[in-house]
Chains A and B, each alone.
Chain A
Amino acid sequence: MKSADRHTYHNPRQMGLNVFFMPRKFGFYYELMGLALFAAAWILVSYVIFSRPQFSQFQGFLPGPTFRALISAFADERFWLSVFTSLRRIVVGISLAAFFGIPIGILVGFYPRVQGLSYSAIQFVRMISPLSWMPIALLLFASFESAVYFLIVMATICPVILNTTTGVRNINPQWIKMAMNQGAGNYQLIRTIVIPASVPHMLTSLRLALGVAWIVLVPAEFLGVSSGLGYLINDARDTMEYDKLMAMIIAIGILGFTLDRLFQKLQKTLRWSWNE
């Protein structure tokens, strides 16, 4: 329980994921070292596996060819177009998931009856691989682009709903009781206590959604789109150019890391002292 000692949680039930998703309290130095260790592990494992003669055709997975491919991708305008389109898909997809998911999460968390009604349905839907929605996405939406958005929303809406619900249910019951004593109605409770108090959980849910969105992006770009990082990964697979594939993986990693940082900044600015 060492990590628990270093962070203070007002509610121990939240422990699990929050170790990763609460505001950071460790130094930049550790992060750099972690990154270096991770890179070292990649170099070690890939050399052990791919420098064997029977795998000589797969040396694209090694760091050298990967970074050469990444640098040549930086010079290619198609790469930047793909970065832009993929980012747009991620941002639009997550915004839509937040637009629908956060209100649903608040209602589910606030009204026990709604939670009872929706619990099994949400658990049911959340287990379905978002990619099995593909035929439905193709039928429902006129353009391939909107089908990609739909797939991202289907993948990310469940973590958003569930985390928002958890946030609402973890609000200090004293606050609610106090407000009710002073005659607050449901609407007032939601507006003045529930929403502000669960903002940290909402942001955490969006950070989770970010990871999931990148996961579905690659298969979602199997559909009839003509650019995107997932599209470029599929191209690299179709032509067995594994250096390009690894370069795109690194690019997605960098983008994901940057987006996550932005969310962290947002989390920091939206933290209220009374909420910790």
Chain B
Amino acid sequence: MKHPAPRQPQAGITRRTFLQTAAAACSTLIAGTRVSAKKPPLRLGYLPITDATPLLVAHGLGYFSQEGLDVERPVMVRSWNILTESFLANKFDITHMLFPIPVWMRFKQNIPVRVLAWDHTNGSAVTVRGDSAIRTFADLGGKQVAVPSWYSMHNLVLQLGLKAQGLTPKIQPQSAPLAPHEVNLFILSPPDMPTALLGKKVDAFIVADPFNALAEHRFNARIMRYTGDIWKNHPCCVIVAAQPFIDQHPVVVQKAMNAIVRAQAWCRENPTETAHLLSRDGERYLPVSQEVLRRVFKPPDPDLLVHPHWKVPRIDFQPFPFPSATRFIIDQMKTTRVEGDISFLSGLDSGRAVQDLVDDRFVLQAMDEVGGMAPFCDCHMGLPYTREETVEIR
């Protein structure tokens, strides 16, 4: 960098003009480095739920910048529709999505979307009114249950539980008669769920946090079952990017993945700080108070657990996309009742689908840098990248 040569004081040059020229000189320098880097800033999108935690924490702790990425503050939208539409309209480079959504995008709509990693595990629950008699899935017979989206883990896990009890999931108008062995499902937007529960429009709902925590906190609602207590350490949201973006910017994707994996490891170590950082008392990524979020990031009440020996946290972070889980999800999607055409699933070989959908190169590289599975695992260290899916419904 050239320093401006010392000048003799001149009548024509005031202090202000000197500063202006100096600033102009410096700004061209900065602009010069911008041009040489030639990377547009990385754009991240999220919904105001704890599922977005790794993306938000990676941004909040400056991990993206530390990796040398130029990144904008993640952009919040308010519904899955808007998130997927914005992703398709190329407004976001990397975002989180409920696992079944990219399956549906990739194989029904032929959109070249790739799952890069798991965003988090567990993190959802079935919630009922505090005074409700519903204690197990068997008690849900003849009831109305709200799910956030047909293509959601929530719908899938809920129907898994219902079918295990011999109940039939139905999709029909709320006023239609319901046999004692039938359960009526319908879509409700997550912010409306706790209110609808209290207003007795629904008997239970299954959704991601912080809506369960909010319902507990404000309306004395009770968690009937944590989803991680049904399917041990199940994936929920995944990190996705579009194939063209991955092809054009593999280095950016790798760096972003490094930042996200580091953030996931940090969240496991610092649950209270995570709650603070996300909340409106911290960096304001989510509109909720840290008091409510602390509930999500602290260990679940053991009395509410059916499998306390699994030691599953309410929400946990583990990036590696176990193929066994992806296969399980695709197989389950084939039998999960949804509104809409799912014929695209019938001819889909789940083994091949995993290869088409998941791109684990980046996450494996990123995990290598933080010591592999070690920061994330209470699992089998002999074969860290395989697991058996444990699903147990009682």
Residues of A within 8 A of B (CB): 54, 57-58, 134-135, 138-139, 144, 222-224, 226, 234-235, 237-240
Contacts and interface: CB of A to CB of B under 8 A. Distances in A.
Interface majority SS on A: helix, strand, loop or mixed? Answer: helix
Interface in B186-205: 191-192, 194-195, 198
A224 B191 contact: no
B42 interface: no
Most chain A beta carbons < 10 A, residue from B79, B191, B194 = B191
B343 to A, nearest CB: 24
Interface in B96-132: none
A138 B89 contact: yes
A135 B87 CA distance: 11
A239 B75 contact: no
A123 B91 CA distance: 33
Nearest to A54: B198
A54 to B, nearest CB: 8
Interface in B229-246: none
Pairs of residues from A and B, 6 with the lowest C-beta to C-beta distance, nearest first: A224-B75, A222-B78, A235-B287, A138-B89, A139-B89, A237-B191
Contact of B195 (A144, A223, A224, A240): A240
Contacts of A222: 77-79, 82
Interface of B: 45, 48, 73, 75-79, 81-82, 85-86, 88-89, 91, 191-192, 194-195, 198, 214, 218-219, 287-289, 292
Contacts of B218: 57, 240
25 contacts: A57-B198, A57-B218, A134-B81, A134-B82, A134-B85, A138-B82, A139-B85, A139-B88, A139-B89, A144-B86, A222-B77, A223-B77, A223-B86, A224-B45, A235-B287, A237-B191, A238-B48, A238-B78, A238-B288, A239-B288, A239-B289, A239-B292, A240-B194, A240-B195, A240-B218
Given A138-B82, A138-B91, A239 B194 contact: no
A234 B78 contact: yes
A140 B75 CA distance: 18
Contacts of B86: 138, 144, 223-224
Contacts of A54: 198
B86 to A, nearest CB: 5
A47 to B, nearest CB: 18
B82 A240 contact: no
Contacts of B219: 57, 240
A64 B281 CA distance: 25
B84 to A, nearest CB: 10
B40 to A, nearest CB: 12
A135 B85 contact: yes
A144 B85 contact: no
A239 B77 CA distance: 15
Nearest to B47: A238
A240 B85 contact: no
A226 B191 contact: no
A255 B134 CA distance: 46
Contact of B85 (A138, A226, A234, A238): A138
Contacts of B214: 239-240
Contacts of B288: 238-239
Most chain B beta carbons < 10 A, residue from A134, A138, A139, A222 = A138
A135 B290 CA distance: 33
Contacts of A239: 214, 287-289, 292
B89 A238 contact: no
Contacts of A139: 85, 88-89
B76 to A, nearest CB: 6
B198 A144 contact: no
Contacts of B195: 58, 240
A35 to B, nearest CB: 29
Contacts of B289: 239
A138 B86 CA distance: 6
Contact of A223 (B82, B198, B287): B82
Given A134-B85, A138-B89, A144 B75 contact: yes
A57 B85 CA distance: 35
